Structure 1
Amino acid sequence: MNEEDLSVLDTVDILDSPLDAIELSEPDSATSPPDPEEMLLLLEHPESTQRIVAARAFCELKDERAIPHLINLLQDVCPLTRVSAAYALGRNPSPVALAPLISLLQQDWNGYVRKGVVWALGNSQDTLALKPLIKALKTDISAVRLWSASSIVQIAQLEYESVVSAIPPLIEALRRDAIAPVRSNCAWAVGQLCRELPLNVVYATAIDALIEALAEDQDLGVKEDAKLALLRVGDPRGLKMIEELEQEGWI
């Protein structure tokens, strides 16, 4: 997959990576979990298929001993190995993995890899990841932008200053992103962060943006997500606008 092929990812129909099952799967109680000792050895296997199997195993297993090996695999020549290692580091977050993950987000040509890195950075619970995630929201392909919004919430909600920094780029993407699912995820993200804010100008601006999306966005899915965000926040202005638009038959 070369740089020109990334345009294939930038469509609504394939925002999801084929590897999403890695990040969403739960252990199967009917089967035994992978043997961590065996998987640790396979992380250094000369065959890429075996390294991938091992990296994916640590998407289920949590073992600090795997972290240095997974960090090394972020530089693997095989993109499937790199993305599997990124997801595994999301399951095994560590401060020492933060800088390598940020570097990979900034440099890797493969959109699926960058998407996995964004997910892992969200799980890092480290505010140093916020600026790279905001940049990805502004500049990357749609699949990465969509997941960046979710990861920004995970990081930003840790500190008030981070919430204040995250709200403006999320609002900008909510208003201007060309891909409706990205705007929808930004509406959800803005609503989540509003719940962390006092009633100040930042909060009011965020509510204005959600009301604007509810009233003006051309996509019904975005409208619905903006509505749900306002309902969850429970802002009186937002609730009043929802009531008025429903009475007028606009939503």
Structure 2
Amino acid sequence: MQTDDDLSVIESIEQLDDPLDRLETIDLEVPSADPEEMLPKLSDEDPSQRMLAARVFCELEDPRSIPLLIQLLDDICPLVRVSAAYALGRNTSPEAISALIDSLERDWNGYVRKGIVWALGNGSDRSSIQPLTHALRTDISAVRLWAASSLAQIAKREYEDTIATMPPLIEGLRRDSVAAVRGNCAWAIGQLCRELPSNVVYATAIDALIEALVEDEDYSVKEDAKSALLRVGDTRGMQMIEDLELEGII
């Protein structure tokens, strides 16, 4: 899946923006937000109409759109598929989550998978944790970036999920080759630490944030780790920040 030539462009750090932003360059009239008008257009023969109708449901919630949007996850046009993925992040259901997970495993297009990962995070369904963890470890940078954020959104709801999600996030913070991904892992760890008691997992997570603060070569990652520690308010982390500031290191 990741060997497709089209993904070489997506892999660059400059391509981590929202795929829907790129659709603005298409010279098409943006439709109104009338669901009665837009629902039939989700099945229109013209892919541009399917795409624009799906984009309306990125902002509009209507349960009648869900089965049609699920069908569009198999559309031949990647722009339709990514729009449908984002729309299913707004119009979520157990059926939508299942369809999104299936599409994450098989869609060749990195932008589509990025949209799917965002939608799964917004859906906040525990069944998404395993596929999101896999994406964080194996997918292209744009997808890994959002997988970290989505995992934090879902895992913070249940203690067991927080415990299970912390190791891959720490691994991403320590080893990912892209600074933006490491930074998002730091943010996600900070979010989850706020839900944890002071136990071994919590201490290991704080160790990883301090390690990033001291040792990461990228300034933005250091700042993300610092912000995460400040949000958590951990005594050890706060003392380390103070010491490094006094030494002029950060």
TM-score category of the 2 structures, normalised to the smaller one: over 0.9
**Structure 2 length as normaliser, TM-score?**
0.94
Cα deviation, residue 17, structure 1:
3.2
Q: Does 2:57 correspond to 1:58?
A: yes
Cα deviation, residue 7, structure 1:
1.9
Cα deviation, residue 32, structure 1:
9.5
In 1, the alpha carbon distance for the partners of 2:202 and 2:60 equals 40
Q: Secondary structure at the match of 1:214?
A: helix
What is the aligned partner in structure 2 of residue 12 from structure 1? 13
What is the aligned partner in structure 2 of residue 162 from structure 1? 161
Structure 1 residue runs without a partner (length 5+):
23-30
Q: Aligned AA for 1:93?
A: T
Structure 2 residue runs without a partner (length 5+):
24-29
Cα shift readout 1:59-100 (whole Å, capped 9, x = no counterpart):
111100000000000000000000000000001111111111
In 1, the alpha carbon distance for the partners of 2:16 and 2:22 equals 14
What is the aligned partner in structure 1 of residue 33 from structure 2? 34
**Structure 1 length as normaliser, TM-score?**
0.94
Cα shift readout 1:172-200 (whole Å, capped 9, x = no counterpart):
00000000000000000000000000000
TM-aligned CA distance change 1:127 to 1:133, over 3 Å: same
What is the aligned partner in structure 2 of residue 25 from structure 1? none
In 2, the alpha carbon distance for the partners of 1:100 and 1:221 equals 35
What is the aligned partner in structure 1 of residue 137 from structure 2? 138
What is the aligned partner in structure 1 of residue 26 from structure 2? none
In 2, the alpha carbon distance for the partners of 1:18 and 1:119 equals 11
Q: Which runs of 4+ in 1 moved over 3 A?
A: none
What is the aligned partner in structure 2 of residue 213 from structure 1? 212
Cα shift readout 1:95-145 (whole Å, capped 9, x = no counterpart):
111111001101000000000000000011110000000000000000000
Q: Aligned AA for 1:209?
A: A
TM-aligned CA distance change 1:181 to 1:43, over 3 Å: same
Q: Secondary structure at the match of 2:5?
A: helix
In 1, the alpha carbon distance for the partners of 2:164 and 2:38 equals 40
Structure 1 range deviating more: 153-162 or 12-21:
12-21
Identical pairs, percent? 65
Q: Is the 8 A contact 2:10 2:110 kept in 1?
A: yes
In 2, the alpha carbon distance for the partners of 1:52 and 1:32 equals 10
What is the aligned partner in structure 1 of residue 70 from structure 2? 71
TM-aligned CA distance change 1:10 to 1:32, over 3 Å: closer
Q: Is the 8 A contact 2:180 2:221 kept in 1?
A: yes
Cα deviation, residue 4, structure 1:
1.5
In 1, the alpha carbon distance for the partners of 2:194 and 2:32 equals 38
